[in-house]
Structure 1
Amino acid sequence: MEYFKLGKNGRIPILGYGTWRIGGAQEPDYSQDDYYIKALRRAFEVGYTLIDTAEYYGAGHTEELIAEALKGFSREDFFITSKVWPNHLRYDDVLKSADASLKRLQTGYIDLYLIHWPNPQIPIKETVKALEDLVDLGKVRYIGVSNFNLNELREAIESTKRHEIVANQVRYSVLNKSNVEPELLTYAKRNDVRIIAYTPLEKGKMNHPLLTELASKYKKTVNQIALNYLICKEAVPIPKAVKEEHIIENFNAIGWRLSSEDVERLSKLA
């Protein structure tokens, strides 16, 4: 696996595995547990080491499935990201949410813990203090945010005292750049904030003549072109896949690079 720099001294895999709707959406769904555990294990066997999840996913059940799937693997080989829901951003609630996620994940630490969405009703300084304390307690290695715009990201960074905000996870694809205005990307890069891209394949709707053209040129699939574009932009895509062929297809988006000219052409898409 290749890595990007994370913060000032850390590192993060350049491609991750998303888990939204694995084990339920807003509520847990136990009906396909065996199927999803098998899919997760196959992803780990293929080589995915970055797993993205959240306490909100399946009301925590997704984290439980990840824990089950990781049995037999070495925890140290994986980079687990989880997120605290905006209703839980008071100081004590953040600590409780982290402990609950740790219990469900059956691990002693979370690699990257994110604020899932901003909550203007709760002071960001209060939430950030809780996140920093989790790092000091050894329960979390790195902290970050998700779905934060430029001003929200700036406020979060300015609220830190001991530990840096190292990531902002946003919706981002070659066909949807509405959440990553140039100012946000510039500010993030200047402050060592890694952009993590969710829904990088637009739920399978990656239709554009340029993508088709480049897929033919590079002898790759359209999805692989779309994922590689984000990696070339130094973002970490976290596509979800449960079918083996899609798990493998997405993983093969790494190990090569689009030319700078083709990246520029793709950057001009919507």
Structure 2
Amino acid sequence: MEQFELGKTGKIDVLGLGTWRIGGGEKPYYSDDELYIKSLRKAFELGYRLIDTAEYYADGHTEELIGQALKGFSRRDFFITSKVWPNHLHYDDVIKAAERSLKRLQTDYIDLYLIHWPNPEVPIEETMSALERLVDDGRVRFIGVSNFSASQLQEAIAATRKHEIVANQVRYSVVDKKAEVELLPFARKNHVRVIAYSPLERGRLELPLLRELASKYGRTENQIALNYLICKEAVPIPKATKEEHLIENLGAVGWRLDEGDVDRLSRAK
């Protein structure tokens, strides 16, 4: 798998696997556990190594399924991202939330730990202090944020003392390019990698140019849409459970759209 730089010292795959609604939505759903574990293991066998999850997903059950699916694989081969929910952003709550996630994931460290959403009622300095403590203790390798605007990201960066913010995960797709206005330029300038969730808009991509470019490159429309984000140096994390979709999404890696076509997609509405 190709990789991008992560912060000033790390590496991250250019494509990952999202897991929202694996094992439930806001609440856990246990009936399909075996199917989801089988799907996750198939993704691992196909080469997915960047796995994104959160304590909020299925109230922690998604993390449990990932932990079960990883049995038999080498933990060091994987890059696991999880997120702390905004009602757990006070110092002690961050530490406890991370400990719960570690237990559910059956691992002793999380590669990237993010603030899921900003919470204006909790001082960002308090939250960042807790995240940095987790890094110091070896329970987290890298820290970051999610759904932060450029100005909120700037505040978070200013609140760190010794460890850098390396990522901001936001909604970003070829049909939802708000991140390109302010966030993407600011993130690049500050060595913050943008991770794109909902990069395929849950199968509702509607852009005529995608069809044209799919024909030109001999790719699918989804592969064009994902490659566009990679060309913008963002990391798309599409959720997929069916083997054919897992394979299709991997086909977005290992090549690049021409600069002219990237520009056309940037302007397309």
- TM tier relative to shorter chain: over 0.9
Counterparts of 1:235 and 1:32, CA distance in 2: 32
2:188 alignment counterpart: 189
Which whole-Å CA distance do the structure 2 matches of 1:19 and 1:66 have between them? 9
- Matched length: 269
Q: 1:162 corresponds to which letter in structure 2?
A: K
TM superposition shift of 1:183: 2.1
Pair 1:130 & 2:130 matched: yes
Question: AA paired with 2:87?
Answer: N
TM-score under structure 1 length normalisation: 0.99
1:127-166 pair list within 5 angstroms: 127-166=127-166
**Letter paired with 2:167:** A
For 1:161 and 1:269, the matched residues in 2 are separated by: 41
Alpha-carbon distance between aligned partners in 1 of 2:150 and 2:217, rounded to the nearest angstrom: 35
Aligned equivalents of 1:67, 1:12: Cα separation in 2: 20
- Structure 1, residues 158-217: CA drift from partner, whole Å, max 9, x if none? 000010000000000001112x14221111001000000000000101121100000000
Q: Measure the CA separation in 1 of the matches of 2:63 and 2:182.
A: 34
1:67 partner SS = helix
Counterparts of 1:172 and 1:204, CA distance in 2: 14
* Residue 249 (structure 1) aligns with: 248
Work out the CA distance in 1 between the residues paired with 2:256 and 2:22: 30
1:6-155 counterparts in 2 under 5 A?
Answer: 6-155=6-155
SS of equivalent to 2:25: coil
Query: What code does the residue aligned with 2:103 have?
Result: K
- Shift, 1:139, TM fit: 0.2
RMSD of aligned Cα (Å)? 0.6
Cα separation, 1, equivalents of 2:257 and 2:167: 24
Amino acid at match of 1:243: K
Corresponding residue of 1:231: 230
Aligned sequence identity (%)? 70
Provide structure 1 residue ranges, at least 5 long, that are not aligned to the other structure: none
